Structure 1
Amino acid sequence: MKKVILLLLFALASQTYAQVKSTGEDEFKLASLPYYNYGKGLGMTSADSLFQFNIRFRMQNRVTFYENEGEEGSYDAQIRRLRLRFDGYVGNPQFQYAIQLSFAPGDVGSIEEGKNLNIIRDASITYKPNKNWNFIFGQTKLPGNRQRVNSSGALQLTDRSINNASFNIDRDFGFQVYYLNEKKDKFSYNIKTAVSTGNGRNTTEKDTNVALTGKLELLPFGTFTKGGDYFEGDLAREKTPKLMVSGVFHQNNGSWNERGQQGKALFEARTLKNVFVDAILKYQGWSGMFSYLNRTTSNPLTTETNSEGILETSYVYAGEGNDYQLSYTFPSKWEVIGRYSRQNVNGEIYKLNVPNTKQYSLGVTKYIWEHAFKIQGEVSYDRLHFHDTSTKNNWYFRFQIEMGI
């Protein structure tokens, strides 16, 4: 019996030694391989920590039914957004990069002869010498109004407001400098500036115009949980009120596009000025947002006589608008959202029968995995007022699923 016990103890000790030896060899092998993590996307850090690579994707699949006055009811079903994002650092965590590519037809736009494809959304390099300063060079979003800087994947409703579609300043190529002074529960502020081409994404044409942007963000009660000032809905159910108020001034000197970085071509260059003011407040599941957007220019109309002797007109999309948005997120991660938007165009282009618009939207969202995986439903009603005193009433109903990592 004693011999049997001794043999069992010897076998157990041999097995333990083999496991320890094997574990040691595995640790040695793992130390020479990249380190993987599963946070926001799939990340990989080299064994010597000289580079980090993170990959993410997201897609928005939707179907929309339209009931526009004077038209037959219709629908469209599409991949609204399909994005790949890569970010990380090279050599040192202070030197970071961000790349974002888009593939959905609505993102890329139509193919036009002589025009560049809009596959590249972001391609920027950031130097972060410390926690306060960011120096950015490349193509990325300008520090504009909050909802535009907010990722389209972090919206409560299926898309941004009609005012964001008309007046935002979008992406551009240039230099940006941020000074961030953020504290968890104390008054905080951020200053963000940019000098850019003013021509928008993926331009390769020589030009003389330049755009200047400045933004101030104030957080009276400190920072939001998990960066909640830049995602919609109070998913974190803030235990104390959190508020961000921001203001932006942007001037695009000598723009040739109707909306600065975007839109149809103008016949003459114009200097465009944008002013944005917005606020977001969150507390215990409630989220309220307000925004004011404005674009002005000295003369919005540009004209040219074509080869047939006909005078053609193009115009700067000038005007102003307000957005009001309120939502409540239940502990079950169901959310109800309401939004009212008012948009008035410049008087000169209103005379061209470009309408003033009021939009009313109601949405329901179920968050399965925060904003990365959610199901959304929305109904919106648009009332259009034209200069000739006519009106038009349009409806749309939309179902959308967003998924990403």
Structure 2
Amino acid sequence: MKIKLSLTLLMMSLSLLGLAQETQAPKFGKGLFNLVGKDSSWTMKVAARMQFLTVVDWDNQDGKYIDPQSEFTVRRARLKFDGFAYSPKLEYKLELGLSNDDISGASVYTGNAPRYILDAVVKWHFAKNLELWFGQTKLPGNRERVISSGNMQFVDRSLLNSRFNIDRDIGFQLRHHFNLTDSFIVKEIFALSQGEGRNITTGNLGGHQYTTRVELLPFGDFESDGDYSGGDLKREETPKLALGVSYDYNNNAVKNRSNQGSYMTNDIGFYETNINTLFIDAMFKYNGFSFMGEYANRDSKDPYAKNSDGSLTGSEVQVGNGLNLQAGYLFKTNWELAGRYTNIAYDKTITGRDVENQYTLGVSKYIVGHKLKVQSDISYLDFGSNDKLMYRLQFDIHF
């Protein structure tokens, strides 16, 4: 199955390259090529990107960090297709993941098939300042998750994101924005989704998921959508601030992290409970300096998974709080120095998990912005009963 699908993707890419032989290639980082229909009724930009990651861990044994363990991976390898169909008001995006990390998570709930599809979404601009999205894509959750993995300030996202994010799902989103003043912008998003995560083939096991988000930009838009990009690569000439609040309600959720995590199975199928997730975040940029902060909270109506007779199954909703603070400064040489602090405080009486703290110092060299860069960071991870050091080095290239 994997081989057949990979060959199909390869043949499709080669066919598109053949169609584009007479088309002038775009500037580096702007896609492999652009296709336009003869009657200009459709367009397609084709792009590819890769991330190569090296990780080294040292465990603390009797006050000494010894026994380093190393790992070399193709962290991400992706193909992206976007454009419009029939009318510029009807846009689309298709993103496919090809690396092991991208397609992992196959189970009976995804047809035991690799999860190649990341995004498959259509965006209809049906009225002024109004868009209707339908398909599979990122939910309007925490800012760090919505920021592309290719536009991050550090090698990877924070522990807050890995523990609390609501990632992708299939459904629809209604998006709107308006101006309070000439510079003060308000953006609103509402999403209704299946509530099981991406690439689910078994239908809706629990209830549905409802997500709403409001963003305030008191000083106007960031340069080149910089409110959803790590670091101040555009060196904002005036201070820019974005404040966001997201609330997610997953009705009768069957996973222990809303639409993420493990299924909570019991003697009659699945344990269902309502899960609420709250995100509060901020992004600030000015003249090379950037700051991003996020807070997350997850709670549940009844976090303990039970069998039909009321006995505990041993699973529970991962309820608790997370805080992530990070800041950086971009020098005029396009070197950036950044620091991050992350705290994860689960409810220990429910989850039995210790507080987690991570301290990270990162250095990045942006050769062609986020499209060609080298990033490195070192972290101290304190997980209560144990701690370790982690060093990472990553190379990004986006065509």
Smaller-chain TM-score bracket = 0.7 to 0.9
Matched, 1:396 2:393: no
What is residue 236 of structure 2 aligned with on the other side? 238
- For the 8 Å contact 1:185–1:221, the answer to whether it is kept is no
Matching residue of 2:371? 372
TM superposition shift of 1:204: 1.6
**SS of aligned partner of 2:224:** helix
For residues 23 and 363 of structure 2, the distance between their equivalents in structure 1, rounded to whole angstroms, comes to 42
3-state SS in 1 of match to 2:232: coil
Distance 1:131 1:403 in 2: 36
Aligned counterparts, 1:240-319, within 5 A? 240-267=238-265, 268-304=271-307, 312-319=313-320
Q: CA RMSD in A?
A: 2.2
Once the two structures are TM-superposed, the CA of residue 111 in structure 1 deviates from its matched residue by: 4.2
Mapped contact 1:336–1:363 kept (Cα < 8 A): yes
Matches of 1:270 and 1:56, distance apart in 2: 41
Q: Give a deviation string over 1:24-59, Cα, whole Å, max 9, x none.
A: xxxxxxxxx878654731322223111100111111
Match of 1:21 in 2: none
Segments of 5+ residues of structure 1 without an aligned counterpart are 1-32, 386-390
TM score, norm. by length of structure 2: 0.86
After superposition, the Cα gap between the structure-2 partners of 1:264 and 1:235, relative to the gap in structure 1 and judged at 3 Å, is: same
Contact 1:183 1:222 in 2 (8 A): no
State whether residues 274 and 302 of structure 2, in contact with CA within 8 Å, keep that contact through their aligned partners in structure 1: no
Aligned to 2:169: 172
Shift of 1:85: 0.8
Secondary structure of the corresponding residue to residue 373 of structure 2? strand
Report what 2:222 is aligned to.
224
Residue of structure 2 equivalent to 1:212: 210
Residue by residue over 1:156-210, the C-alpha shift from the partner in whole angstroms, topping out at 9 and shown as x without a partner, is 1011110110001100000100002369970111101100001110112133410
**2:30 aligned partner:** 40
Residues 52, 89 of structure 1: 8 Å contact kept: yes
Q: Is the 8 A contact 1:117 1:202 kept in 2?
A: no
Mapping 1:125-144, distance limit 5 Å: 125-130=122-127, 132-144=129-141
Q: Does 2:72 correspond to 1:77?
A: yes
Separation (CA, whole Å) in 2 of partners of 1:287 and 1:77: 30
Matched, 1:347 2:318: no
Contact 1:252 1:272 in 2 (8 A): yes
What is the aligned length? 363
Match of 1:321, as an amino acid?
Answer: G
CA distance in 2, matches of 1:335, 1:116: 40
Is the partner of 1:203 in helix, strand or coil?
coil
> Percent identity over the alignment?
36
1:209-235 CA-partner distances (Å, limit 9, x unpaired): 100010001000000011100101011
Q: Is the 8 A contact 1:304 1:313 kept in 2?
A: no
1:329-352 deviation per Cα after TM superposition (whole angstroms, max 9, x unaligned)? 0011000010001110023334x3
Pair 398,227 (structure 1): closer, same or farther in 2 beyond 3 Å: same
- Greater shift, 111-120 or 133-142, is seen at 111-120
- Is the 1:35–1:45 contact (alpha carbons within 8 Å) kept by the matching residues of 2? no
Alignment CA distance shift 1:188-1:110 (3 Å) = closer
Mapped to 2, the partners of 1:78 and 1:183 lie a distance apart of 47
- Residue in 2 that maps onto 1:356: 355
**8 A Cα contact 1:84 1:100, kept in partner:** yes
- Local SS of the residue matching 1:152: coil
What whole-Å deviation, never above 9, does each CA across 1:223-250 have from its counterpart, x for those lacking one? 0011100101011111100000000000
Distance 1:185 1:238, change over 3 A: farther
Q: Give CA-to-partner distance per residue, 1:279-325, whole Å, 9 cap, x none.
A: 010001000111101111022221459xxxx9741121111111110
Q: Which residue of 2 is the match for residue 124 of structure 1?
A: 121
Letter in 1 for 2:355: N
Deviates more, 1:324-333 or 1:61-70: 61-70
* Distance in 1 (alpha carbons) for counterparts of 2:137 and 2:223: 25
Q: Distance in 2 between matches of 1:182 and 1:169?
A: 28
Alignment of 1:380-391 (within 5 A): 380-385=379-384, 391=385
Whether the 8 Å CA contact 1:245–1:280 is kept in 2: the answer is: yes
Q: Which structure is larger by alpha-carbon Rg, 1 or 2?
A: 1
SS in structure 1 opposite 2:257? coil
Amino acid of the structure 1 residue aligned with 2:393: F
* TM-score w.r.t. length of structure 1: 0.85
Deviations 1:39-81 (A, max 9, x none): 7313222231111001111111011001123584211100111
- Aligned residue identity for 1:63: T
Query: 1:55 and 1:92 mapped to 2: Cα distance?
Result: 19
Indicate the larger mover: 278-287 or 205-214. Answer: 205-214
Matches of residues 80-91 of structure 1 in structure 2 within 5 Å? 80-91=75-86
Contact 1:34 1:45 in 2 (8 A): no
